[in-house]
Structure 1
Amino acid sequence: MKLELRHIRCFIAVARHLHFARAAEELGIAPPSLTKQIQETERLLQVRLFHRTKRSVALTAAGEAYLPEATAALASLQRGQELAELAERGELGRIQIGFIASAAFAGIMQKTIRGFRKHRPKVDVVLIEAPMTQIPGMLADGRLDVAYIRPPLDFPEEIRAVSVYQDEFVLALPDDSPLADHAVINPSQLRDACFALPEQEFGTFEVGRRGRFQPKLGPRPGPLAAVLACVSLGSFVAVVPRTLCDCLRLPGVVYRPLGGKPVVSEIALTFRRHERAYAVREFIKYAGANVR
């Protein structure tokens, strides 16, 4: 026979009450059964834990030494059970959230994560900015659990994308450009423009399609702040999400809406289709319930 949790619980109960009848009542067992449990505990530990007489019960030196360790061990096991139950419900864990900078500019990511942290305060949320082209692979191999991107983007079959925010593309152009005098820029007016390309190229090529021209391509700096820096130098224009108008302004750059039917710019939450981690599944569920 090996020492079991029942032995430790019985010992702690008797040590707390120093009375077998009251300890047995707390444990919901008969006093003779409790006596047997204590005797087994002492035999297994090969020490005497209590001085017992007909009128009194007292801890021995061995019992005094064993009590704090037994109490700590039992508390640790109980805490472990509580943590396991929290993890099972998705209330504990760690989530690695990838994002591209333009997703952060829209605010939907921040709003969702703030709300989720209140909803599941024991879940550790880690943010990782990553180039959009690398995100599918990072999701597939587990370096990311979910990610905020701007579609379209090719993903492996096991990755799913759900739209969580929608705005539209606008044109960023130098403030001294003749086009800056127009309140609205029609795609056909951009036939001779040279475009700085953000990492999401869809808006640029869609503007070219609607204007019936092949866009003349300039630098590909990637992040939107770098794209606007190129525009500010005076030689380029860029098709960028409308959300930038409210949160990112550079000297020498102005924004103008595009004429015609809006060119839609979305933000999507991407994740593994068959996610197993409870905390990640809780985040996906929460994010989907708070789509705007």
Structure 2
Amino acid sequence: MQLELRHLRCILAVARHLHFARAAEELGIAPPSLTKQIRDAEQLLKFRLFHRTRRSVSLTSAGEAYLPGAAAVLAQLDAARENGLLAERGQLGRIRIGYVASAVYAGVMRKTLMRFRELHARIEVTLNEVPMEEIPAAIADRQLDVAYIRPPMAFPEGLQATGVHRDEFVVAVPADSPLAALDAIAPPQLRHARFAVPEQDFGTLEVARRGRFPAPAGKRPGPLIAVMASVSLDGTVAVVPGSVCACITLPGVVYRPLTGKPIASEIALLHRRHENSRAVRAFLQYARGEKTG
């Protein structure tokens, strides 16, 4: 026989009450059964835990030395069980979130993360900006759990994109350009412009298609802030999400809407189609409920 949890619970109950009948009542067992559990525990430990007389119960010196460690073990086991239950309910765990920089500007990401953290304080959320082309592999390989992206994007069959925000593309142009004098810019008017192309080139390609000119082979500076710096410093134009207008103000850059049917600019959450983590599933469920646009 080995010392078991039932023995520890009996020892601690008797130590709390220093009375076998009251300890037995707390545990929901008969006093003779409790007496046997204590006797078995003492036999296994090879020392007496309690001095017992007909009128009193007290801890032995060995019992006093043993009790703190036994209580700590039981508390750790109870805490571990509680953590397991919280994780099972999606209230405890870790979520690794990636994002492309442009997803931050729309506000939906900030709103969702702040409120989710308030509601799920015991879920650890880590954030990492990741180049867009690296995101699908990072999620498939479980380096990330979810990521805020700008569709369209190619990704493996095991992943899924869920839209959480929608606005429309606009054009960023140099303030001293003739284009800046227009209230709105028609795609054909950008035929001879030099483009700085963002990581997500969908808007740029659609403008070229509507304007009936070849897809721009312009510079690709990388993150959206670098694209905007190119407009400010190098005299290029850029097709960017409308949410950027309120977030990035650079000297010499103005924004103009596009004429015609709006070109949708979206933010989506990319995630595994069949997710096992309850914490991640809780985040996805919450993020879907918080989507805007």
Q: Which of the five TM-score ranges fits, normalised by the shorter chain?
A: over 0.9
Q: What residue is the counterpart of 1:134 in the other structure?
A: 134
Q: Which deviates the most, 242-251 or 229-238?
A: 229-238
Which aligned pairs between 1:196-275 and structure 2 lie closer than 5 A? 196-275=196-275
Deviation at 1:234, TM superposition (A): 4.3
Deviation at 1:66, TM superposition (A): 0.6
Deviation at 1:205, TM superposition (A): 0.8
- Is the 8 Å Cα contact of residues 205 and 216 (structure 2) preserved in structure 1? no
Which aligned pairs between 1:168-187 and structure 2 lie closer than 5 A? 168-187=168-187
Q: What residue is the counterpart of 1:24 in the other structure?
A: 24
Deviation at 1:30, TM superposition (A): 1.0
RMSD: 0.8
Deviation at 1:244, TM superposition (A): 0.7
Normalising by the residue count of structure 1, what TM-score does the alignment of the two structures yield? 0.98
The CA deviation string for residues 204-239 of structure 1, in whole angstroms up to 9 with x for no partner, is 110010011114332101111100111112431110
| Paired-residue identity, % | 63
- Is the 8 Å Cα contact of residues 24 and 31 (structure 1) preserved in structure 2? yes
Task: Give the SS at the match of 1:284.
Answer: helix
One-letter code aligned to 2:72: A
Point out 4+ residue stretches in structure 1 off by more than 3 angstroms: none
The CA deviation string for residues 46-81 of structure 1, in whole angstroms up to 9 with x for no partner, is 111111111111111110101111111111111111
Question: In 2, Cα distance between the equivalents of 1:289 and 1:172?
Answer: 32
Question: In 2, Cα distance between the equivalents of 1:2 and 1:160?
Answer: 50
One-letter code aligned to 2:153: L
Gaps of 5+ in 2: none
Deviation at 1:153, TM superposition (A): 0.5
Task: Give the SS at the match of 1:243.
Answer: helix
Question: In 2, Cα distance between the equivalents of 1:51 and 1:216?
Answer: 90
- Is the 8 Å Cα contact of residues 195 and 215 (structure 1) preserved in structure 2? no
Gaps of 5+ in 1: none
Question: In 1, Cα distance between the equivalents of 2:234 and 2:271?
Answer: 39
Question: In 2, Cα distance between the equivalents of 1:215 and 1:19?
Answer: 86
Q: What residue is the counterpart of 2:148 in the other structure?
A: 148
Task: Give the SS at the match of 1:197.
Answer: strand
Which aligned pairs between 1:1-150 and structure 2 lie closer than 5 A? 1-150=1-150
Task: Give the SS at the match of 1:220.
Answer: strand
Question: In 1, Cα distance between the equivalents of 2:226 and 2:171?
Answer: 15
Question: In 2, Cα distance between the equivalents of 1:127 and 1:253?
Answer: 30
One-letter code aligned to 1:190: L
One-letter code aligned to 2:283: F
Aligned length: 292
- Is the 8 Å Cα contact of residues 95 and 123 (structure 1) preserved in structure 2? yes
Question: In 2, Cα distance between the equivalents of 1:24 and 1:115?
Answer: 46
Question: In 1, Cα distance between the equivalents of 2:234 and 2:50?
Answer: 88
One-letter code aligned to 2:50: F
One-letter code aligned to 1:73: V
Which aligned pairs between 1:153-172 and structure 2 lie closer than 5 A? 153-172=153-172
Question: In 2, Cα distance between the equivalents of 1:219 and 1:193?
Answer: 12
Question: In 1, Cα distance between the equivalents of 2:91 and 2:102?
Answer: 29
